[in-house]
Structure 1
């Protein structure tokens, strides 16, 4: 009888532990910047839920959602996110925050970009065969970068010698661009993290920023229980509601590195 009772208690304990885990697929920038590492203990203290996240490119994160590998997504590729919802993989797309994208280049070539707008900067990269490093991983940043090339040149210069795809995350791609004294395209939050890693003296510096086309919007999406019957929709929705709540938005707004704000909360102002 004691053995049966003990087994029942262990089973109940295991079931309770499973119920307090929430699995998330997210973009590398929310992880690389340290934002999610900061959120996890705060959210667990408040709710008892242990947020377990996997940081990949947005394309891979959405695939994890389609494959029913996670309960919730925290991503930043609006067009791909909307398609995900339209196809029935996700329940609701909730606006969370934004920052912006920036073009960064090695200090030795930074002067080439002086006084150039976004279009002129990309045209010059191609014309002068300046080494450009793309993530090439179908992430939100990769999608945005390729969209800019298409809008300016009509195509992505994937066959040109100056253009390389790393197939890696943002920090790794920045480090490769630095080693090769080239150029890359990144979200500002990850650049600030790179800058902090370099103790304020990075090899790559921002050479183009501020264009209205460079806004970088992040959203949270619960995976649909109709598509994935075993998804923890209750806890996924609770996390989504917390991250857009006054408490969650305040936490995001106050999250800084080098006394610089990495993300701007916009749940109350953005219309998805």
Structure 2
């Protein structure tokens, strides 16, 4: 785990995301720079792998850059790592999907102006023959309990992402400690986790967006869905410039406002894979204890 803020490691602010993505975390760097010599400084967006691996950001950000002139550097990691980048001042804004962790981030003064952006849901996927029999259930916690009791394989992201945090709450609800023989925590993003579950004939929890983007490549099926605990909301939050004066706060606010605008929301809702919408746009303010 990185303990020293990255802003103390690198002298050039614009280069920090490149080193962050490529040298330290091994994350995917997505650039929506469409103007080779943009007069506007890049915006550093720390976000979840689900927004990147689903293809959503590849759909949205080039349009944002074309319309505003701001290039965007995307650092895709788990929610925990994304929020840590915000805490360290190594991102200008965050886009994540773990409400409890996001509230702590804002209440501690690291984030400001949180806004609901969109939602989808989580689903539990597994082998089509469903040896654990979870396809007959409607309760996600009971589904996980059945996977354990039937001695089946479960692949966990294990990366402090929003998906991993949701999974942990479901194990708690099932009163199961996920330390059984078939439980494998791999510390990877959603795409690799789905791939491993497919290869091993195991189960996993996934956001529906990444599932829809990957399903044609996998020997898996959606087996449990619809539990209200599987609701998956995304927020966009500015990093507090009072903590780090050299943030690109103007660019970050421009991106946030664009995403929650009627135009941005229409584009989010229009993004589809194989004819299916991956996210439901629902920008509206969310209650928080503090905004500054």
TM-score, L = length of structure 1? 0.88
The structure number with the bigger radius of gyration is 1
- The structure-2 alpha-carbon separation of the partners of 1:270 and 1:259, relative to structure 1 and needing over 3 Å to count, comes to farther
Q: Give the distance between the partners of 2:282 and 2:119, measured in 1 at CA.
A: 7
Q: Give the distance between the partners of 2:282 and 2:258, measured in 1 at CA.
A: 14
Matches within 5 A, 1:182-197: 182-196=202-216
Superposition deviation, residue 229 in structure 1: 1.5
Contact 2:134 2:147 in 1 (8 A): no
Where do 5+ consecutive residues of structure 2 fail to align? 1-36
Deviation string for 1:192-216 (max 9, x for gaps)?
Answer: 01114x2xxx301000001111110
Superposition deviation, residue 126 in structure 1: 1.3
Q: Give the distance between the partners of 1:136 and 1:156, measured in 2 at CA.
A: 14
Q: Does 1:258 align with 2:280?
A: no
Task: Report the counterpart of residue 149 of structure 1 in structure 2.
Answer: 171
Task: Report the counterpart of residue 83 of structure 1 in structure 2.
Answer: 104
Where do 5+ consecutive residues of structure 1 fail to align? 1-15
Of Structure 1 and Structure 2, which has the larger fraction of its residues in helix? Answer: 1
Q: Tell me which of 226, 236, 239 is aligned to 2:242.
A: 226
How many residue pairs match? The answer is 251
Q: Give the distance between the partners of 1:215 and 1:271, measured in 2 at CA.
A: 17
Contact 1:61 1:75 in 2 (8 A): yes
Task: Report the counterpart of residue 62 of structure 1 in structure 2.
Answer: 83
Contact 1:110 1:207 in 2 (8 A): no
Q: Tell me which of 152, 166, 191 is aligned to 2:186.
A: 166
| Secondary structure in structure 2 of the residue aligned to 1:124 | helix
Superposition deviation, residue 51 in structure 1: 1.1
TM-score, L = length of structure 2? 0.82
Contact 1:104 1:208 in 2 (8 A): yes
Q: Tell me which of 136, 144, 165 is aligned to 1:122.
A: 144
Q: Give the distance between the partners of 1:42 and 1:114, measured in 2 at CA.
A: 40
Q: Does 1:26 align with 2:47?
A: yes
Task: Report the counterpart of residue 6 of structure 2 in structure 1.
Answer: none
Superposition deviation, residue 17 in structure 1: 4.6
Contact 1:110 1:205 in 2 (8 A): no
Task: Report the counterpart of residue 9 of structure 1 in structure 2.
Answer: none
Task: Report the counterpart of residue 6 of structure 1 in structure 2.
Answer: none
Q: Give the distance between the partners of 2:284 and 2:266, measured in 1 at CA.
A: 12
